[in-house]
A and B are shown apart, each in its own frame.
Chain A
């Protein structure tokens, strides 16, 4: 990544949102609301670190619920199914098993880049943070963060009204057996891993999840600058409204049954 491109980050006063744990539907709605706020200029460019209040399967905008989720498995483990606004694949979330973050930025931050270039650009600081912790990770186009011992995470993007949302989920320590009971990934393809846990970040750093997040924030702060921030009352209201009017509706979740 050229220094000239990386210097673009410094054009903005980046805000940090490190929120308390929130319900899966609230997270879906927050991304939608903050992307809109970013495009409207009400919110400066922001890094949001997610904390989950409950387990969930998060499916991509264009995925079919039936194709991705074992509904009986999800019900047995009391796991909620939610649909996000970005494309990409399904993920299995339990509080503490992943590290998830969103970046809301003006589209001009990545102007002139191809979509594939912009994916790698948005996560350069994360690769640096992981390197500081001794994890050699790199970008695998289109949207994967990977390492010698396998995939670490995946990103997804959406552009709307001059703003970009780029969000990423990385595996910290996932219960693979439970995940395979809930997701249909790889079941019929013979790719099912024998591993009981998918724990690239825990096993490769030996650190608690919070320590990794702290390092990520420190790296972002050092490279791009970062000011602490909170959700505004307008943003909270918009989010609450989006939960009931969009994300919790059957129309949205079952858009592709």
Chain B
């Protein structure tokens, strides 16, 4: 019982540690705008666990999820142009201030290039 419990705790700890280790982090300051931060992982050569944050303005609030959904599952070798195009399409009906589709794409590429945070 004790051993099983201990095993469970260790496995969870290991999984969490690996997740943190594999998490990649990229930042980009949009010229004349705000800081765009992307955290993500790569699994099977695709982007997963993407999160986007920063001191930018977005409306509606849900536009943040639209952007994340547009990046999730994209091939990790996607270029800036492709990524920016996807973000632009996802935010066609949103208002962006201090953040741009290109800025998000650059932050993603920086996260991938920089590797683990």
Report which A residues bind B (CB closer than 8 A).
Answer: 60-64, 67, 86-90, 115-116, 141-142, 156-159, 256
Contacting residues, chain B, for A64 (C-beta < 8 A): 37, 39, 51, 53
- B97 CB to nearest A CB, Å: 5
A142 contacts B58, CB within 8 Å? no
List of A residues within 8 angstroms of B61 by Cβ: 61
Report the bound CA distance from A87 to B96 in whole Å.
11
Interface code B48-74, partner A: CB below 8 Å = 1, 0 otherwise?
Answer: 000111111111010010000000000
Question: Whole-angstrom distance between the alpha carbons of A156 and B55 in the complex?
Answer: 10
- Given known A67-B37, A141-B32, contact A156–B53 (CB-CB < 8 A): no
Does the CB pair B55–A115 fall under 8 Å? no
For the complex formed, measure the closest distance between the CB of A98 and the CB atoms of chain B, giving whole angstroms. 17
Residues from chain B with a CB closer than 8 A to the CB of A63 are: 53-55
Interface string of B17-51 (1 = CB under 8 A from A): 00000000000000011100101000000000001
Residues of A within 8 A of B115 (CB): none
> Given B32, B33, B54, B95, which contacts A62 in the complex, CB threshold below 8 Å?
B54
The answer to whether A156 touches B57, judged by C-beta atoms less than 8 angstroms apart, is yes
In contact, B51 and A115 (Cβ under 8 angstroms): no
* Choice from B33, B53, B57, B97 contacting A67 with Cβ under 8 Å: B53
Question: B20 → chain A, closest Cβ, in Å?
Answer: 11
User: Which residues of chain B are within 8 angstroms of A60 by Cβ–Cβ distance?
Assistant: 55
Question: Chain B: residues with CB nearer than 8 A to chain A?
Answer: 32-34, 37, 39, 51-59, 61, 64, 95, 97-98
**Best-buried of B33, B39, B95 by chain A (most CB within 10 Å):** B39
Given contacts A61-B61, A62-B64, A142-B98, contact A87 B56 (CB under 8 A): yes
Q: Cα distance A63–B61 when bound, in Å?
A: 12
Looking at chain B's contact residues, the main secondary structure is: strand
Q: Using CB atoms, name the residue of chain A closest to B27.
A: A67
Taking A62-B53, A67-B53, A256-B53 as given, write out 9 further A-B residue pairs in contact, using a Cβ cutoff of 8 Å, ordered by the A residue number: A62-B55, A62-B64, A67-B37, A87-B56, A87-B58, A89-B34, A142-B33, A142-B98, A256-B51
Q: Which of B55, B61, B95 has the most CB of A within 10 A?
A: B55
Question: Which of chain B's residues have a CB closer than 8 A to the CB of A87?
Answer: 55-58, 97-98
Which B residue sits closest to A142, measured CB to CB? B98
The minimal Cβ–Cβ distance linking B63 to chain A, given in whole angstroms, is 10
Contacts of B34 in A (CB 8 A): 89, 142
Q: Are A86 and B32 in contact (CB under 8 A)?
A: no
With a cutoff of 8 Å between Cβ atoms, the chain B residues found around residue A67 in the complex are 37, 53
B58 neighbours in A (Cβ, 8 Å): 61-62, 87
Please provide the 10 A-B residue pairs with the shortest distance between their CB atoms, ordered closest to farther.
Answer: A87-B57, A89-B55, A64-B53, A256-B53, A115-B97, A60-B55, A88-B55, A142-B98, A63-B53, A62-B53
How many Å lie between the Cα of A156 and that of B53 in the bound state?
16
Q: How far is the CB of B71 from chain A (nearest CB, A)?
A: 15
Chain B nearest CB, measured from A10 CB (Å): 28
- A158: contacting residue among B37, B53, B59, B98, CB under 8 A: B59
Inter-subunit contact B97/A142 (CB<8 Å): yes
With the chains together, A60 CA to B34 CA distance in Å?
12
Q: Which residues of A contact B54 (CB under 8 A)?
A: 62-63
| Given A67-B37, A115-B95, A256-B51: A157 and B57 interface contact (C-beta under 8 Å) | yes
